[in-house]
Amino acid sequence: MRAIILAAGLGLRLQQPPQAQFPKCLLQFDGMSLLERHLQMLENAGVTDVVLALGFQPESVQAELERINWPHKVETALNTRYDLGSVLTVHTVAEALTRGGDVLLMDADVLYDERILNALVAGETVNRLLIDRDFEAGDEPVKLCLKDDVPVELRKQLAVNLEYDTIGESVGFFRFRQETAQRFAEIVAGYVESGRANMPHEEAVRDLLLERSQVFHTADVTGAPWIEIDFPNDVVRASTEILPQLQPLVSASR
């Protein structure tokens, strides 16, 4: 199993002055960066094949990798047009997507409990989505809608006539079987070739779900603490609400 961590973005919505901006995977909570937490939890889950998609300030992330001194090789890929959408970042790591075996596609800017990752990696080869039914309504969360356990929508904005029996927020992690990852890479390539490289990669995942060529299972992680960090108040919530609920992690460099 391979983990691809998307860490290319600018993080503009954190509203930092230009001279103070840095990749969100370097945000620290309790003295540990989000990147180090990702790597430690992946190792605890038995996943040591990791590809890191970089863009903004790659040298800062490389320096953090050296500081962490993770005992496994971390492959990196660079999206020089990180100012565009995450579809292009995913396209940058297309070879890692299609190399074989199950693939975990993970956003780097998430602080999360080990139960989240354990639900993602459990069992034999499978396509898996994660859903949290306890979410705040609004335009920001990416909603995952199911009907009879089948995904029928993955978007921030839902059509008024959409029929579903389950709705929740999609955690920013996906698991693809080998053939599914191949098809996903093809869809992403189509976005880039048709001038839609500025789109979020969730749109390509949505296309994959709605074409129904692959069967997806959904793991319900409602109750497990996690937060995607986009805005300044997310950093505060991560520190005051989410972090105290997490089990302490041993640094990978110790």
* Total-model pTM: 0.94
| Res. 68: pLDDT tops 70 | yes
DSSP 120-140: HH-SSS--EEEEESS---SSS
Are 172 and 131 spatial neighbours (Cβ–Cβ below 8 Å)?
A: no
Q: Which residue type sits at 133?
A: R
pLDDT per residue as tens digits for the range 98-122 = 999 999 999 999 999 999 999 999 9
Indicate the CATH number of 2-245 among 3.30.1360.30, 3.90.550.10, 3.40.50.2300, 3.30.590.10: 3.90.550.10
The amino acid at residue 230 is D
Taking the domains of the chain in order of start, what are their residue ranges? 2-245
Give the pLDDT mean for 133-152: 92
Q: Give the tens place of pLDDT for each residue, 151-180.
A: 999 999 999 899 999 999 999 999 999 999
What does the alpha-carbon distance between residue 104 and residue 50 come to, in Å, rounded to a whole number? 9
Residue 254: per-residue pLDDT: 45
